[in-house]
Structure 1
Amino acid sequence: MFLQCVFLISSASLISSKWIPERIVGGHSVSIDVVPWQASILKHGSHWCGAAIYSEDIVITAAHCVQYAYPGAFHVRVGSAYTSFGGQVVRVSQILVHQDYDQSLSNDIAVIRLQSSLRLSDSVSSIPLAESSPASGSPATVSGWGAVGYHQQLSRSLLEVSVDIVDQKKCSDSYDGHITNDMICAAAPGKDACSGDSGGPLVSNGRLVGIVSFGTDCAHPKYPGVYADVAKLKPWILKAIQRL
């Protein structure tokens, strides 16, 4: 039977009965200078989701992170390896969620315009979007402040983990055919994203290839982590930015 649960930060944040948005497992602490495109979305002042910096006033995240809230509920923190202090904190001005996003988590992508421009530096930098989806087996990294294991605490400092892109058919078979063309999968033994990492960046070859979306448990040997495929969704992303 195909049945998962969905969390943003914990089970108290249940938004669906099928999927578990993700968090970092098996990773290591990393300086923000190593992943300067990493952002933290704060909801009412507390870390809620990850995001990737596209430009000085645009960040990209998962649709399920922002679908049910108004822009005024959110701030974005950048330039810090911690979600509670440091770096720059800016208000969110506008949010645009993919119009075809649904509870299956297909098209799990959203773009956010900030009220003021970020000051770019070695610790605050944009990342280019992938032109094409990476091949199966390609190395990638995912970062965030999510839980370090299923039903465990969020990390206080930024973590990063190395994974490999998984063949889409193999991933789809693991999820009983529920992987759509706009999704990409990645995994490694004992390594994964987890709750609180949703919306964060999956990076390969210096480009943003995925946005953390969902999974079953965390680092489950049968179920790879699933991400919105940035290359497949790039046309929508670019049009959405123009509309904001």
Structure 2
Amino acid sequence: MIIHEKYEPVSKRNNLALLKLSEPLKLSRNIEEAPLAGIVPKVNSLAKVATWRKSIFFYHLSVIEEAIISKDECSKALDNSALQAALATETICAQNKILGACDKDLGAPLISRGQLAGILTNPSCSSKPDVYTSVVQYKTWLEANTE
């Protein structure tokens, strides 16, 4: 595993890591590659996130849509001052006003226009915004640390 060398656990700045697999992942109808996004999704655009939802007996993987929201709107809705410091440039905020991602979803992909735009950093477990590490801000680091 390669953890970003400047990761800050309290503020969650630089919150990303790469997992090197011993053999290539076998792609299928249910497992696909997602190219890294080249631009940050626009405010009010829709993105998808994979989440674990509990049914009566077990958790199942599902996909929810979230709207990208502005950093100002996100900051007002969040009451975590340490996290607000990281909202400056390296994050994306998205919100589903009915249900959001939760702790079991940490690291989940935020997919916008078929591209990986973010990695879930701070789930709300509610209708508050979810915060994602923006892969656009770390594209150079990601490419330098992958083969």
TM over 0.5: yes
Whether 2:57 is the aligned partner of 1:132: answer no
Aligned partners of 2:103 and 2:123 also within 8 Å: no
Give the Cα–Cα distance (whole angstroms) in 2 for the partners of residues 112 and 154 of structure 1: 30
Whether 2:48 is the aligned partner of 1:141: answer yes
Whether 2:144 is the aligned partner of 1:236: answer no
Whether 2:2 is the aligned partner of 1:99: answer no
Give the Cα–Cα distance (whole angstroms) in 2 for the partners of residues 160 and 199 of structure 1: 14
Give the Cα–Cα distance (whole angstroms) in 1 for the partners of residues 72 and 145 of structure 2: 29
Whether 2:30 is the aligned partner of 1:115: answer no
The two structures have a TM-score, normalised by structure 2, of 0.86
Aligned partners of 1:134 and 1:165 also within 8 Å: yes
* 2:60 match: 157
Q: Quick one: which amino acid aligns to residue 239 of structure 1?
A: A
Query: Of Structure 1 and Structure 2, which has the larger fraction of its residues in helix?
Result: 2
Q: Quick one: which amino acid aligns to residue 181 of structure 1?
A: T
Gaps of 5+ in 2: none
The percent of aligned pairs where both chains have the same amino acid is 30
Change in CA separation of 1:155 and 1:141 when aligned onto 2, cut-off 3 Å: farther
Give the Cα–Cα distance (whole angstroms) in 1 for the partners of residues 28 and 98 of structure 2: 33
Report 1:8-157 matches (<5 A): 95-103=1-9, 104-145=11-52, 156-157=59-60
Give the Cα–Cα distance (whole angstroms) in 2 for the partners of residues 97 and 204 of structure 1: 24
What's the C-alpha RMSD, in Å, of the aligned pairs?
A: 2.1
Task: Name the larger-Rg structure.
Answer: 1
Give the Cα–Cα distance (whole angstroms) in 2 for the partners of residues 191 and 237 of structure 1: 30
Gaps of 5+ in 1: 1-94
Change in CA separation of 1:158 and 1:215 when aligned onto 2, cut-off 3 Å: closer
Change in CA separation of 1:201 and 1:185 when aligned onto 2, cut-off 3 Å: same
Q: Displacement of 1:137 after TM fit?
A: 0.4
Give the Cα–Cα distance (whole angstroms) in 2 for the partners of residues 165 and 134 of structure 1: 7
Give the Cα–Cα distance (whole angstroms) in 2 for the partners of residues 183 and 116 of structure 1: 31
Give per-residue Cα distances to partners, 1:4-58, cap 9 Å, x unaligned. Answer: xxxxxxxxxxxxxxxxxxxxxxxxxxxxxxxxxxxxxxxxxxxxxxxxxxxxxxx
Q: Displacement of 1:124 after TM fit?
A: 2.2
Q: Displacement of 1:180 after TM fit?
A: 3.2
Give the Cα–Cα distance (whole angstroms) in 1 for the partners of residues 58 and 38 of structure 2: 32
Give the Cα–Cα distance (whole angstroms) in 2 for the partners of residues 109 and 186 of structure 1: 18
* 2:106 match: 198
